[in-house]
Structure formats: structure tokens, C-alpha cells
Structure 1
Amino acid sequence: MKVAIIGLGFRLGYLGRIFRDMDPTFEIVGHVDPAPAGLPGLDEAGISAGKAYATPQEMIASETFDLLMVGSPNHMHLEHIRIGLEAGLTVFTEKPIVVTIEESLELARLLHRHGHDRLLVGLVLRYSPLYRDLRQAQAEGRLGEIVSIEASEHIEPYHGAFFMRDWRRYGRYAGGFMLEKCCHDLDLYNGVVGARPRYVSSFGGRKSFIPANDPRNEGANDMEVYHRKPSGWEGSDKVFDSDGDLIDYQTAIVEYENGAAMTFHTNLNVPDQFRRFCVIGSKGMAEGDFVRGYLDVHSARNNEKVVAKTYQAPSEMSHHYGADEQMAEDVFKFITEGQTLPVSALNAIEAGILALAMDEARFARKVVDLAPVWAEYDACLHGTAAASSAAQTKSA
């Protein structure tokens, strides 16, 4: 499989290695990136990044390939996706797919014109063994109707510090932390509920990564933990005095169109990190943790544990609990055999709209009603009505 890359950052540099491990014929024919942070990782693995081009248009005109991969900063995704779709290419984009409601509507218009199946998205947790087993238990009727979900994504201080130092610290580039990082999780639980979110409220801010908590105030000189993960484009060495507008904790409550409810919590300063969920249905409950690697399902009829599974990543170098390896295999089969993928661009847009609504609710301290957004989104997606350039959300 031959690919071309727009935005050769750390993520696509890593995925290049995963795709090569899965497919020995994998080849990067070219890339567009003025400062490709992922290049050293490819070099270390003996993988060529192909020819460097100044613009996506020049690369597309000069090379022949099976897949255009977009790994540019989030705020550039829409334009790079547009270039690929209008050139008739199959496009893979990293998450989040776009960074505003307005861009979500514009992408829906693009998909109406060019089709949904030519845009793939790296919501990699859909490929994880744990999530697949959760959906299997649900399909077997072990949970019944989904009633409520309690879920979280908590990350270690070194990773939180990376966000405070990286370009992702700016909302204008990343779209906010819920969108940048937690869209994975929101997509998973949207899938489990099987309905769109309707009402959203949220609270949060920054309380950990602030000057008052700088370890150097206590005489500590060892800051290695906060610089362990390197930053790329527009990187900074400031952690507790970051100039970004990123939050470091947030909670949200969601009611779905079918009446199911979810609470979601994220925090960037959790020393013993976890990424867990409890999905409670009318017939049973499923509890699991992606970091700690387990899934338990209990029956509400007799309290018995009917599923008990544990998980381990394929190697110490594996990201996302083995899901990257499965995603690479499935994307390859999609390109070569037309195999169906477990996540779509539409799933990504809808998870992104939920994340953006969480931030709107947090900023305005209100309950956001997403009904007007979904109406305009559907009009854009299906071409059934002229859609305005922006969606107006209403408080409940």
C-alpha cells in the first residue's frame, strides 16, 4: 500500500511504523510538512518518508498512491480533507476530524458531494479488543437497554504537561481538550448508546497546572517528568506557567435523544491514570478500563459475572492498548479488499459536536440543546435544505 502524508507529526510517524509492521509493502511516497516531527521515528525504523513537497497540490499532482493521510494540526484538517476529496482520493485523517460546529457543517456538505466512504478517521479505540468485546456483550443482549454510563479519561502528569507545552495548548489550533483528546471516548459511548446526544452541561477549568503548583516553589529541581514527552510545532518549555487556554479538568453530563444519560470526567494530572467506564443497562452492567486492561459484565438477574476478560498490549511500544495494530490491518483491508470499518467520518463529526457542546456549556454555564445543530447538520449532510454557515445552540 502506498500513502502520501500531509502533516508528518509524531502520530503519523508512529503509524508509519505500525503500517509497515503490518504490511511489508507499505510505502510513503511523499509528504508535506515544513517541520516533520515524525521523521526521526521513521528514520530510526528504516522507513523512507518519500519526497518532501511544498504543497499538497504539488504532491498529489506528482505522485500515485492509495491513501492520503492527514496528520496536520487540527485546525488545518478541513482544508486538507477538502483538497484530498476534491482530487478524487481516499483520505485518512487523524482525530479530531474538525474543530468547530461551522467546520462540522462544512464537512457534512463536502461528504454530501463526495460520498462518506472516501473519508476514514483515526478514532482508534473503536478497533480495540476491549471495545469490540463490550459491543459483543451488548449485541448478545447481556446489557439490555442502555440506561446510564459513567466514564472517564484520566492521564498522567507527564502527558498533561505535554498538552501544556504543545500546540494543543491553544484552543484556536486544537479545538479544546475535550475535542482533542476525549473525542475517542465520546465516540465510543455514543456508539454504545446508539443515539445522538441532545442536552449537554459541563464544568471545568485549570487548577493543577498553574504557577502556584510549580514544584520549583518547593525547592524541587527535577522537572524531567514534565518534559518526558517532546512537543513539536510551536512547542514551549513552560508547564505550570503555560500561555495556553487549555483546561486540566472537566466534567460533563449528557442526555441522549433516547433518554440514556452519561457522566464524563477528564483530568490531566492523575498519577495512577485510568480510562474506565461503567455501562448500566436494564439487564446487566459492563465495567472496564482500557489502561488497566479488564472487562467485567454482570447480570442484573442474579448478580453473576458472565464475562471476565483481561487485556495486554502487543508490546511495550504499542499505543492505545493494541488498537493501532488492528486499525492498520483493517485500513489495509479496506483499501485492498473493501472491508467495512468499525468507525466512520460521521461518527467522528458527531463525537466532535458533542465535545464542542461540552465546551460551550462550560463557557456559558448553561445546558446546551443540540437539536438545532443536528437539524442543520442533517440538512447539510443530505442536501435537503440550504444550511446557514453557523449553528445556533439554545439553552434548555
Structure 2
Amino acid sequence: MKVGIIGLGFRLGYLGFVFNQMDPDFEIVGYADPAPAGMPMLDEKGIPAGNVYDTPQELIKNEEMDLLMIGSPNHMHLDHIRLGLEAGLKVFSEKPIVMTIEQSFELAALLHQHGHKRLLVGLVLRYSPLYQDLRKAQQDGLLGDVVSIEASEHIQPYHGAFFMRDWRRYESYAGSFMLEKCCHDLDLYNGVVGARPRYVASFGGRKSFTPQNTPVDEGVNDLDVYHCKPSGWLGTEKVFDSDGDIVDYQTAIVEYENGVSMTFHTNINVPDEFRRFCVIGANGMAEGDFVRGFLDVHNARNNEKVIATTYKAPSETSHHYGADEQMAEDVIKHVMDGTPLPVSALDALEAGILALTMDEARKTRTVVDLSSVWQRYDAALNGSAAEHHTLKSA
């Protein structure tokens, strides 16, 4: 499979390695990136990055490819997706695929024009064994009708410090922390619920990575943890006095259109991290943790544990609990043979809209009703928004 890359950062450098493992015929034909942070990974693994181009337009014009992969900073995603779709290419974009609600409408209109199956998304957790087992238990009727969900994504201080030092500390480049980091998780639970979110409330802020919490009178080695993960574009060494505007903790409450409720909590200064869920249904409950590697399912009638699965820690070179390898394999099969994928661009847009609404609710301290958002989204996706605009112009 031949690919071109726009934005050869850490993530696509790593995925280049994983895709190469899954397909010996995988080839990067070229890339466009003024400062390719992912190049050392490819060089270390002996994977050529192809021809270098000054602009994405030159890359697309001069190379033949089966897939255009986009790993540029988030605020560039929509423009780069548009370039690929308008060139007739199949496009893979890292998440989040857009930055704002308005961009969600804009991309929905593009997908109406070009077909949403032309856009693949890097919501990698859909490919994880744990999530696949959760959905199978649900499909087997072990949970019954889903009633409520408690979920979280917590990361260790070294990772939280990375966000405070990397370009992702700025909402203008990355979007909110909930969008940039947690859209993975929100997509998973949207999938479990099987309905769109309707009402959202949220609270949060920044209380850990603040100047008054700067470590003092500690050994130099005690501070190394905050700098062990390298930052990329626009990187800084400041952690507790970072000029970033993202939050370091947030909680949200969601009610879906079918009445299911969910609480979601994220914090980026959690020493013993976990990425947990508890899905409670009329017939049973499923509890699992991606970090700690388990899935338990209990029957509500007799309290019996009917599933008790533990997951081995993946190799040191594997990210996302082994899901990247499965994603690479499935994407290659999809591009070359048309094999269906477990997640779509439409799933990504809905997860992004939920994340963005959580931040609107947090900033305005209101309960946000999403009904008008979904109306505009559906109109754009079905082309009726463009038709309405044309009629008004006439």
C-alpha cells in the first residue's frame, strides 16, 4: 500500500512503523512537513519516508497513492482533509478531525459531496480487544438495555506535563483537552449507547499544573518525570507555569436521546492512572479498564460473574493496548480490499461534537441542549443546508 503523509509528527511516525509491520508492501511515497518530528522513529526502524515536498498540494500533485494520511496539528485537519477529498483520494486523518462545531457542519457538507466512506479516522480504541469484547457481551444480551455509564480517562503526571509543554496546550491549535485527548473515549461510549447525546453539563478547570504547585526543595531527579516525554512543535520546558489554556481536570454529565445517562471524568495528574468504564444495563453490568487490563461482566439476576477476562500488557513498542496493530491491519484491508471498518467519520464527528459541547457547558455553566446542533448537522450531511442557502441567495 502506497501512502502520502501530511504532517509527519510523532503519531504518524509511529503509525508508519506499525503499518510497515502489518504490510511488507507498505510504502511512504512522500510527505509534507517543515519539521517532521516523526522522522527519527522511521529512521530508527529503517523505513524510508519518500520524497519531501514543501506543500501538501505538491505532494498530492506529484505522487500516486492509495491513501493520504493526515497527522498535522488539529487546526489544519479540515483544510488538509478537504485537499485530499477534492483530489479524489481516500483520506485517513488522526483525531480530532475538526476543531469546532462550525467546522463539524462544514465537514459534514464535504462528506455529503464526496461520500463519508472516503474519510477514515484514527479513533484507535474501537479496535482494542477490550472494547470488542465489551460490544460482544452487549450484543449477546448480557447487559440488556443500557441504563447508565460511569467512565474516565486519567493520565500520569509525565503525560499531563507533556500536554502543558507541547503545542496541544493551546486550544487555538489543538482544541480543548476534552476534544484532543478524550474524543477516543466519548466515541466508545456513544457506540455502546447507540444514540446521540442530547443534554450536557460539565465542570472543570486547572488546579494541579499551577505555579503554587511547583515542586520545591526536591532533588533534580524528582522533577525529571515532568520532562521525560519530549514535546514537539512550539515546545516549552515550562510545566507548572505553562502559558497553555487547557484544563487539567474536568467532569461531565450527559443524557442521550434514548434516556441513557453518563458521567465522564478526566484528570491529567493521576499517579496510578486508569482508563475505566462501568456500563450498567437492565440485565447486567460490564466493568473494565484499558490500563489495568480487565473486563468483568456480572449477571443482575444472581450476581454471577459471567465474564472475567484479563489482557496481557502489549510489547514495549505497542501503544493503545495493542489496538494500533489491529487498526493498521484493518485499514490496510479496507483500502486494498474494501473490508468494513468498526468506526467511521460520522462517529468521529458525533464524538467531537459531544466533546465540544462539554466545553461549552463548562465555560457557560449551563446545561446545553444539542437538538439544534443535530438539526444543522443533519441538514449539512444530507445536503439540505446547501440547498437552503442556494434558495435564499436566489
Q: Same fold (TM over 0.5)?
A: yes
Amino acid at match of 1:185: D
> Partner of 2:10 in structure 1?
10
Which position in structure 2 is the counterpart of 1:392?
Answer: none
Q: For 2:131 and 2:311, locate their aligned partners in 1 and report how far apart those are by CA, in whole Å.
A: 11
In the alignment, the residues of structure 2 paired with residue 312 and residue 333 of structure 1 have an alpha-carbon distance, to the nearest angstrom, of 26
Matches within 5 A, 1:286-301: 286-301=286-301
Q: Deviations over 1:158-188 (max 9, x none)?
A: 0000000000000011110000000000000
Structure 2 distance, partners of 1:387, 1:248, is 42
Number of equivalenced pairs: 388
Determine if contact 1:380/1:387 at 8 Å carries over to the other structure: no
Deviations 1:178-208 (A, max 9, x none): 0000000000000000000000000000000
3-state SS of 1:278 partner: strand
Q: Which residue of 2 aligns with 1:228?
A: 228
For 1:149, what is the secondary structure of its paired residue? strand
SS in 1 for 2:220: coil
TM value normalised by structure 1: 0.97
Correspondence for 1:131: 131
1:313 offset after TM fit, Å? 3.8
Counterpart check, 1:167 vs 2:191: no
User: What pairs with 1:1-396 in structure 2 (closer than 5 Å)?
Assistant: 1-215=1-215, 217-222=216-221, 223-386=223-386
In 2, Cα distance between the equivalents of 1:53 and 1:312? 41
Q: Distance in 1 between matches of 2:202 and 2:16?
A: 37
The equivalent of 1:393 in structure 2 is none
- Offset at 1:219? 3.9
Mapped to 2, the partners of 1:304 and 1:58 lie a distance apart of 61
Structure 1 distance, partners of 2:298, 2:240, is 43
Amino acid at match of 1:18: V
Task: Provide, for residues 67-99 of structure 1, a one-character-per-residue CA deviation record: whole Å limited to 9, x for no partner.
Answer: 000000000000000000000000000001101
CA distance in 1, matches of 2:330, 2:313: 17
Give, in whole Å, the separation in 2 of the partners of 1:22 and 1:344.
21
Between the aligned partners of 2:387 and 2:246, the Cα distance in structure 1 is 31
CA distance in 2, matches of 1:304, 1:101: 44
SS at match of 1:68: strand
> Does the 8 A contact of 1:152 with 1:266 survive in 2?
yes
CA-atom RMSD in angstroms: 1.1
Q: CA deviation at 1:384?
A: 2.2
**Which amino acid in structure 1 is aligned with residue 79 of structure 2?**
E
Give the helix-richer structure, 1 or 2: 2
One-letter code aligned to 1:159: H
Q: Distance in 2 between matches of 1:116 and 1:86?
A: 13
Unmatched tracts of structure 1, length 5 or more:
390-396
Secondary structure of the residue aligned to 1:153 is strand
Q: In the alignment, which residue of structure 2 is the partner of 1:394?
A: none
Residue of structure 1 equivalent to 2:392: none
Does the residue aligned with 2:147 lie in a helix, a strand or coil?
A: strand
Cα distance in 1 between the residues matched to 2:250 and 2:281: 25
> Is the CA contact (8 Å cut-off) linking 1:166 and 1:233 kept in structure 2?
yes
Q: Distance in 2 between matches of 1:333 and 1:257?
A: 34
Deviation for aligned residue 1:63 = 0.7
Gaps (5+ residues) in structure 2? 390-394
Taking structure 2 as the reference length, the TM-score comes to 0.97
Separation in structure 1 between the aligned mates of residue 371 and residue 2 of structure 2, nearest angstrom? 41
Question: Shift of the alpha carbon at 1:304?
Answer: 0.4
Aligned partner of residue 208 in structure 1, secondary structure: coil
The range that moved more, 118-127 or 47-56, is 47-56
Amino acid in the other structure paired with 2:371: A
1:219-248 CA deviation, whole Å, 9 max, x = no partner?
Answer: 443321001110100011000000010100
Worse overlay, 377-386 or 192-201:
377-386
Give me the whole-angstrom Cα distance separating, in 1, the residues matched to 2:30 and 2:347. 29
Q: Secondary structure of the equivalent of 2:117? A: coil
Query: 1:331-377 CA deviation, whole Å, 9 max, x = no partner?
Result: 01001110000000000000000000000000000000000000000
CA distance in 1, matches of 2:233, 2:23: 29
Equivalent AA in structure 1 for residue 9 of structure 2? G
Aligned to 1:385, the other structure's residue is in SS state helix
The letter of the residue matching 1:154 is: H
Q: Offset at 1:260?
A: 0.1
Q: Distance in 2 between matches of 1:51 and 1:315?
A: 31
For 1:333 and 1:353, the matched residues in 2 are separated by 29
After the TM superposition, which segments of 4 or more aligned residues of structure 1 sit over 3 Å from their partners?
Answer: 385-389
CA deviation after TM superposition for structure 1 residue 386, in Å: 4.1
Of residues 311-320 and 331-340 in structure 1, the stretch that sits farther from structure 2 once superposed is 311-320
CA separation of 1:218/1:388 partners in 2, compared to 1, >3 Å: closer, same or farther?
farther
**Aligned-partner SS, 1:181:** helix
**TM-fit CA distance, 1:388:** 9.2
Write the distance in 2 (CA, Å) between the matches of 1:319 and 1:299.
32
The answer to which of 305-314 and 229-238 deviates more is: 305-314
Q: Would you say the 8 A contact 1:376–1:387 is kept in 2? A: no
Deviation at 1:387, TM superposition (A): 8.3
Whether the 8 Å contact between 1:202 and 1:359 is mirrored in structure 2 is yes
